[in-house]
């Protein structure tokens, strides 16, 4: 935007005198005013004509203007924004600069670092005007002021319209290059920060995953809650099996004690409810023995013990007794062996129940550790994903 300045000239003055007597002569004053009115009008006309002539003869001054957005919202600023624990603000909209920040920005834009390249380009474009196109000359006619939030207005004034356009173009290009370099610096700094954070996060994620693997392998589970349910179900099953086993053990023990009491009696005095009555072969032999005893009693009433009939009966009885005794011992051993098996199973079930109960108690502590590791792993993984996403965005 180009503007031209106009300049105005100033004032004249007149004198009013008093009479020699020290008083004010009204007639003289009136005459003086009448005489000088023409003079005042004439002088004013001359001055006005001179001012117009001077304005026409003096070349106009041109002013060019452009605006600078000091905190632009760019792709880089959006990429840098929301980087965890780093440079970016979580709000992409740039906050207004403070007065101190504006002053610093203006000093940077007016610095030799920014303007010297502009001076070299202009000196090359306008040979012979090197003295008029140095840093001090450019800066003298360059004005940078804050007009709105985050906006600076840059003005350059000169009598050469073409020079004003060229200076503003080169200054704007220099500011754009400076802004690009500044944004690139921010991006490179952000990339460096992200790269520094990614490796420790990867290591942390790997460590937490290894801790989970060791925990799962040691306690043989994929998820503690599922394992807890399985173990609780196993304890309930084992407890039920032990109850049933103890019932059977008590029943077998009672039968065994009854068997011993039964065997303590003479064969002929044993009751029919003896456990041996379940043994068909034993019961058949016992019936034969009882018949022999009955026959002995019967024949003894007629014959003496020396009689052949009596001797044959006793020999027959003697042949039956070893079988009876052997069968009784076998039955006792079978019952005792069964009792021992039931007792061993009861002990085994009790041991398993105690082991699973202890495992279940430990699993409660393991579950707490597992949840802590899972939570830390989730946090580390989410942070790693965020940094990886930012890394990709910044690299693009």
- Residue 351's pLDDT is 96
Q: Rounded to an integer, what distance in angstroms lies between the CA atom of residue 328 and that of residue 270? A: 13
Domain with CATH 1.20.120 in the chain: 220-395
- Could you tell me the pTM of the whole model? 0.47
- Residue 77's pLDDT is 56
Structure token pair of residue 41: 């009008």
Q: What is the pLDDT along the chain (396 residues), one digit of tens a residue?
A: 333 333 333 332 333 333 343 444 444 544 544 444 444 444 444 444 544 555 455 678 899 999 888 765 555 555 555 555 444 444 444 455 677 888 888 898 899 999 999 999 998 998 888 777 899 989 999 999 988 888 899 999 998 899 899 999 999 999 898 888 888 888 888 888 888 888 899 999 999 999 989 988 888 888 888 888 999 999 999 999 999 999 999 999 988 888 888 777 766 566 555 667 777 787 788 788 888 888 888 888 887 778 888 888 888 888 888 888 888 888 889 889 999 999 999 999 999 999 999 988 888 888 888 899 999 999 999 999 988 888 888 877
- Residue 88's pLDDT is 41
Cβ atoms of 163 and 126 closer than 8 Å: yes
Cβ atoms of 175 and 118 closer than 8 Å: no
- Residue 2's pLDDT is 35
- Residue 274's pLDDT is 60
Q: Rounded to an integer, what distance in angstroms lies between the CA atom of residue 315 and that of residue 295? A: 13
Q: Which residue in this structure is represented by tokens 């011993």?
A: 260
Tens digit of each residue's pLDDT (9 = 90 or more) over 215-258 = 888 888 888 888 889 999 999 999 999 999 999 999 999 888 88
Name the class of domain 220-395.
Answer: mainly alpha
Structure token pair of residue 332: 């006792």
SS (H, E, C) 207-241: HHHHHHHHHHHHHCCCCHHHHHHHHHHHHHHHHHH
Structure token pair of residue 265: 């009696």
Q: First CA to last CA across the chain, in angstroms?
A: 36
Structure token pair of residue 257: 């004690």
Is the C-alpha dihedral spanning 120, 137, 115, 161 positive or negative? negative
């Amino acid at each position: 935007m180009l503007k031209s300045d106009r300049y105005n000239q100033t004032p004249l003055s007149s004198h009013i005198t008093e009479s020699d007597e020290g008083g004010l002569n009204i007639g003289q004053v009136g005459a003086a005013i009448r005489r000088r009115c023409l003079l005042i009008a004439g002088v004013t006309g001359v001055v006005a004509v001179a001012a117009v002539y001077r304005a026409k003869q003096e070349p106009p001054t041109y002013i060019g203007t452009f605006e600078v957005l000091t905190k632009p919202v760019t792709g880089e600023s959006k990429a840098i924004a929301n980087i965890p624990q780093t440079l970016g603000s979580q709000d992409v909209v740039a906050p207004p600069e403070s007065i101190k920040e504006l002053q610093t920005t203006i000093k940077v834009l007016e610095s030799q670092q920014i303007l010297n390249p502009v001076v070299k380009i202009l000196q090359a474009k306008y040979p012979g005007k090197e003295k008029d196109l140095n840093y001090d000359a450019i800066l003298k006619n360059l004005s940078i002021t804050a007009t709105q939030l985050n906006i600076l207005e840059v003005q350059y004034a000169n009598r050469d319209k073409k020079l004003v356009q060229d200076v503003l173009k080169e200054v704007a290009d220099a500011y754009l290059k400076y802004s690009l370099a500044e944004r690139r610096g921010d991006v490179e700094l952000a990339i460096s920060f992200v790269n520094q954070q990614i490796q420790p996060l990867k290591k942390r994620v790997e460590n937490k995953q290894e801790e989970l693997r060791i925990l799962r392998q040691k306690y043989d589970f994929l998820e503690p809650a599922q394992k807890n349910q399985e173990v609780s179900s196993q304890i309930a099953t084992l407890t039920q099996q032990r109850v049933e086993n103890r019932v059977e053990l008590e029943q077998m023990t009672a039968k065994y004690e009854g068997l011993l009491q039964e065997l303590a009696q003479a064969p002929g005095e044993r009751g029919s409810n003896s456990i041996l009555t379940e043994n068909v072969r034993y019961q058949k032999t016992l019936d034969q023995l009882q018949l022999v005893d009955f026959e002995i009693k019967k024949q003894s009433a007629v014959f003496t013990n020396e009689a052949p009939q009596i001797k044959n009966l006793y020999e027959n009885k003697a042949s039956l007794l070893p079988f009876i005794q052997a069968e009784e011992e076998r039955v006792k051993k079978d019952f005792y062996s069964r009792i021992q098996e039931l007792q061993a199973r009861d002990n085994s079930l009790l041991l398993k129940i105690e082991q699973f109960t202890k495992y279940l108690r430990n699993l409660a502590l393991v579950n707490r550790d597992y949840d802590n590791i899972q939570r830390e792993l989730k946090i580390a993984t989410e942070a790693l994903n965020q940094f990886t996403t930012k890394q990709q965005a910044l690299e693009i």
